[in-house]
Amino acid sequence: MVEAQATAKFVRTSAQKAGLVLALIRGKDVNGALATLTFSRKKVAKDIEKVLRSAMANARQAEGFGGDVDRLFVSSCYADQGPGMKRVRPAPMGRAFRVVKRTTHLTVAVKERPAKKLAAAGSPASKAREKRVAGSKKAAAAQGGAATKSKAKAAAGAE
């Protein structure tokens, strides 16, 4: 199982705004996440899409990757607060207000889902399951037979 991540630093948006978009893709498979980001109207979605594509490329290059990109999913994604650029805005009566232009560090991690393994026909788990299925079929047949007899009696009595 391969895990890879990518980070974009000093992205010119606030961590809170980026976190809203990251919450949309957390836990999704990479193709669904890319589709969500493509059609999102938020400006930061393009930056997150670049980071996600980079994480996918890192996973492809990782040793032990199965080769199937469809098995990748977004295991974690978060936005850390970066340094804020402090600027000054003129205010009335000769004063000045401070404006903080925020930045964020975007991190997206992708992981490979394990391949689904079917239980072997001779395994103890499959034999136990076959017993349970056979027992429930017998019970359903017994109930079904009793139910049809009572319905037949009710129909005969109604005539």
Q: Are 5 and 107 in contact (CB under 8 A)?
A: yes
Average pLDDT, the chain: 87
In this prediction, residue 85 carries a pLDDT of 97
For 1, other C-beta atoms within 10 Å of its C-beta total: 11
Q: Are 43 and 103 in contact (CB under 8 A)?
A: no
Name the residue ranges covered by the structural domains of the chain.
Answer: 3-112, 118-159
pLDDT higher for 52 or 69? 52
Query: How far from each other are the two terminal CA atoms of the chain, in whole angstroms?
Result: 68
Question: Each residue of 78-122: pLDDT tens digit?
Answer: 999 999 999 999 999 999 999 999 999 999 999 998 877 655 556
Write the class of the CATH domain 3-112. Answer: alpha beta
Residue 133 has pLDDT above 80, yes or no: no
